[in-house]
Chains A and B, each alone.
Chain A
Amino acid sequence: MVSVVYKAPDSIQAAISILSEAEIATKILAGGTDLLIQMQGLVNESRLFVDIKKIPEMMQATLGDQGLDLGPSMCCAEFTAREDIRAVYPGLVEAAFLIGSTQVQGRASVGGNLCNSSPAADTIPALMVNAAICVIAGVKGERSVSVEEFVTGVGTNCMEKGELLKLIQLPRPAKNTSDAYLRFIPRTEMDIAVAGAAVSVTLDDEGVCTAARVSIGAVAPTALLVQEAADALIGTKLDDKALQAAGDAASAAASPITDRRGTVEYRRHVVGVLTKRAAQIAATRARGN
């Protein structure tokens, strides 16, 4: 069993002080749905748990003209119930909705999903296609990095000792822009993504795609932004040929592994299918249908 010291600061400043002064290995406790499982089976180890759910701004989300300011620890159940946010970022909300069961939704958060930095995290591709920025607070002040820069590997990210992800910022999408996220799992619920794909597209008044972002998950050590897939969409009317080309580009960009959840071949194939389908959904949404 792990020996735990539990602290629940009520401000970001207090949290940073605790984190920076910690003398034992430290874990930030948000929803705990990954952390508590990771702690099982540890023997003779000590951890400082810093519960950040008592910090009001970690638990809030504000949607404004500039975009979304998302408190990283707002639980998915609360986040996905926000109709205003769903209207603007439907793909991100559906990604958050796919994390675990209703029970897990009651605890897990977008920020937690991001900081756990699993290759299969559902919200990371959706954050990437929305060009989300991670605002990290530390004793030396704040810094902002893109999600692509934030996640550095399997279960690793760029945060250093004493730092806390305090805010996730999403720019307001341009006119006629929408997103979608799809993942593949063997059942209908409760599984970890075998592959995932998020797509964001912007259309002009003629229905031509002027901008696109495509991100794929669970097919590489980190979620990947696939420029080739986006390029396959830009300049087209998102017809079947363009969607297929985007899917093919996503499959080509994937470098998956074989494990208990899928094989290399299967993941490579399915991520293409998902990319194509997600692009189709995003296009339909962007067209305002």
Chain B
Amino acid sequence: MSKTHVTTTINGDVTEFLCEPADTLLSVLRNELQLTGTKEGCGSGDCGACSVTVNGRLVCSCLVLGVEAQGAEIGTIEGIESAEKLHTIQEKFLEHAALQCGICTPGLIVSTKALLDENPDPTEEEARYYLAGNLCRCTGYDKIIRAVLDSAKVMRGAA
């Protein structure tokens, strides 16, 4: 079976890859492009570890086909920091100890960025519901939510 050629933009860089039409975007990112920061926790859209943005919209990359990336803008955890400097959200996750094992962390950071892009001043409840699709089994979410709300505050320049 012949593979499909896909041209896409990942974290701002034009990228080409070959994939089977049935391959998920997650599989392409991890196995073809070695962007292993995007994690697989369930393969069914229930855990959020594979969260990426497609044309600015937050999605689970396990529920997107690689071929659907044609002409799209993909954002992954590898594109969150800029010029070798951590994003505020990354700094706040570290500062608040908002990770233990860290496997959910890339997905949560991508999701938090999407949240704050949409809503720069979320309430605790809004943050909790927006991030309900990002499972964390280690932290009980307390420190994650604190990191998210503190990030929002700093990013609004209200710190």
Contact = CB atoms under 8 A, between A and B. Distances in A.
Interface of A: 1-6, 8, 29, 31-33, 36-37, 39-40, 49, 51, 53, 75, 77, 100-104, 106-107, 188-190
16 contacts: A1-B20, A1-B22, A2-B22, A3-B1, A3-B20, A3-B22, A36-B24, A36-B65, A37-B44, A37-B63, A49-B65, A102-B111, A103-B63, A106-B58, A107-B63, A189-B132
CB-CB nearest 3 A-B residue pairs: A101-B133, A189-B132, A6-B21
Contacts of A4: 20-22, 65
B57 A77 contact: yes
Interface string B111-128: 100110000000000000
A34 to B, nearest CB: 9
Nearest to A2: B22
Interface in B72-98: none
B44 to A, nearest CB: 5
Contacts of A36: 24, 62-63, 65
Nearest to A40: B43
Contact of B111 (A29, A31, A32, A103): A103
Given A6-B4, A33-B45, A189-B132, A102 B65 contact: no
Nearest to A3: B1
Chain B interface size band reads 20 to 34
B147 interface: no
Contacts, number: 86
Given A6-B21, A33-B63, A103-B111, A190 B132 contact: yes
A103 B22 contact: no
A190 B46 contact: yes
Given A37-B45, A101-B132, A190-B133, A106 B4 contact: no
Contacts of B131: 102
A6 B51 contact: no
A107 B64 contact: yes
A199 to B, nearest CB: 24
A5 B43 CA distance: 21
Count chain B CB atoms within 10 A of each CB in A33, A36, A100 and give the residue with the most.
A36
B111 A100 contact: no
A37 B22 CA distance: 12
Contacts of B63: 31-33, 36-37, 103-104, 107
